[in-house]
């Protein structure tokens, strides 16, 4: 089993609502994404294909923690009549509009921006937007940087599925991240059914050295089909990202508005 890295101590960051640099987003993230999108080509193609296969039967989307949508294709966003984007980053809305504004204008997609904490306001957001499918695009694995209490962190992640009961929802999220030798070829994506613990995943991937566990093994219900893809976020550091979707049980046709 790979050794565990400690997440950076959130108390060393300014985590106020106005912070423009946080461990999970903000200025550094925008700069990095702007600079490295070409190197992320294969990972972005995996996201695009996976999103094209996610058909949640709703024309409305609650998009949780999208940042500027650096990894989200226009082809996905324009499928919706309305998108409610929820992010704590004060810069995300500006960059999101720069990246996707013209495609959204052409498709007539209405974008509403909410700068708030998705974990804190989940219930009220779900109440306010009862017919919206929900997507968590690479945000849940960032909760380790924002919630220093491990019990609360695990509880937030574990109870998410229950809180989203009867909703069509999907997530791709960091599972493990760590050092990578850039001379090696990128490993291939793979599919699995059933929960893989951090230890199982590290063993399956043959990981050695120190890896950061993003504590997201319980995001998806245990029997969910899932895909794992490597993301070379910077040349010598990769994230293993898990993708999965959950169909709301009782909504069916009601969502087709």
Ligand X SMILES: C[S@@+](CC[C@H](N)C(=O)[O-])C[C@H]1O[C@@H](n2cnc3c(N)ncnc32)[C@H](O)[C@@H]1O
Residues near ligand X, by CB under 6 A: 22, 24-25, 29, 33, 65-72, 86-89, 92, 117-119, 137-139, 142, 146
Give min distance, CB of 183 to ligand X, in A: 26
**Nearest approach, Cβ of residue 85 and ligand X (Å):** 10
**CB nearer to ligand X: pick between 27 and 193:** 27
Shortest Å distance, C-beta 182 to ligand X: 21
Name which of 21 and 193 has its Cβ closer to ligand X. 21
Q: Which residue's CB is nearer to ligand X, number 7 or number 66?
A: 66
The Cα-based distances of 188 to 43, 173, 178, 185, 227 in angstroms read 10, 17, 17, 9, 11
Q: How far apart are CA 7 and CA 63, in angstroms?
A: 25
Identity of the residue, 50 or 70, whose beta carbon is nearer to ligand X in the bound complex: 70
Cα 165 to Cα 32, 73, 142, 162, 169: the distances in Å are: 35, 27, 22, 5, 9
> Which residue number, 119 or 255, has a Cβ lying nearer to ligand X?
119
Please provide residue 244's backbone torsions phi and psi, each rounded to the nearest 5 degrees: -165, 155
**Cα–Cα distance measured from residue 45 to residue 22, given in angstroms and rounded to the nearest whole number:** 27
Rounded to whole angstroms, the Cα distance separating 179 from 168 reads 35
- Smallest separation (angstroms) from ligand X to the CB of 114: 9
Q: Which residues pair with 213 in a beta bridge?
A: 176
Nearer CB in complex with ligand X: 46/67: 67
Nearer to ligand X, 143 or 226 (CB): 143
- Report, in Å, the least distance between residue 19 CB and ligand X: 9
**Residue 28: how many CB atoms within 10 A of its CB?**
13
Q: Residues 47, 112: contact at Cβ < 8 Å?
A: no
Task: Please return the burial class of 46, using the count of CB atoms within 10 Å of its CB with bins 0-12, 13-18 and 19+.
Answer: buried
Q: Are 228 and 50 in contact (CB under 8 A)?
A: no
Q: How far is the CB of 102 from ligand X (least distance, A)?
A: 17
DSSP letter at 149 equals -
Residue number with the smallest Cβ distance to ligand X: 25
The bridge status of strand 82-86 relative to strand 190-193 is unpaired
């Amino acid at each position: 089993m790979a050794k565990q890295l400690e997440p950076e101590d959130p108390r060393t960051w300014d985590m106020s609502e106005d912070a423009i640099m946080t461990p999970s987003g903000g200025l550094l993230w925008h700069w990095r994404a702007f600079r490295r999108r070409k190197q992320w080509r294969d990972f972005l193609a995996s996201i695009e294909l996976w999103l094209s296969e996610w058909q949640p039967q709703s024309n409305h989307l609650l998009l949780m923690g999208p940042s500027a949508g650096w990894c989200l294709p226009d082809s996905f966003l324009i499928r919706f009549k309305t998108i409610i984007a929820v992010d704590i980053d004060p810069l995300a809305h500006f960059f999101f509009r720069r990246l996707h504004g013209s495609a959204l204008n052409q498709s007539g997609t209405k974008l509403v921006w909410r700068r708030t904490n998705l974990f804190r306001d989940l219930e009220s957001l779900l109440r306010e937007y009862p017919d919206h499918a929900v997507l968590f695009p690479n945000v849940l694995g960032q909760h380790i940087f924002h919630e220093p209490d491990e019990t609360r962190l695990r509880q937030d992640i574990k109870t998410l599925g229950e809180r989203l009961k009867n909703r069509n929802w999907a997530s791709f999220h960091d599972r493990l991240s760590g050092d990578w030798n850039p001379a090696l070829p990128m490993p291939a994506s793979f599919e699995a059914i059933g929960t893989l613990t951090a230890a199982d995943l590290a063993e399956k991937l043959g990981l050695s050295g120190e890896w950061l566990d993003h504590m997201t093994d319980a995001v998806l219900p245990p029997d969910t089909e899932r895909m794992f893809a490597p993301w070379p976020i910077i040349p010598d550091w990769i994230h293993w990202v898990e993708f999965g979707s959950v169909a709301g049980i009782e909504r069916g046709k009601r969502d087709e508005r």
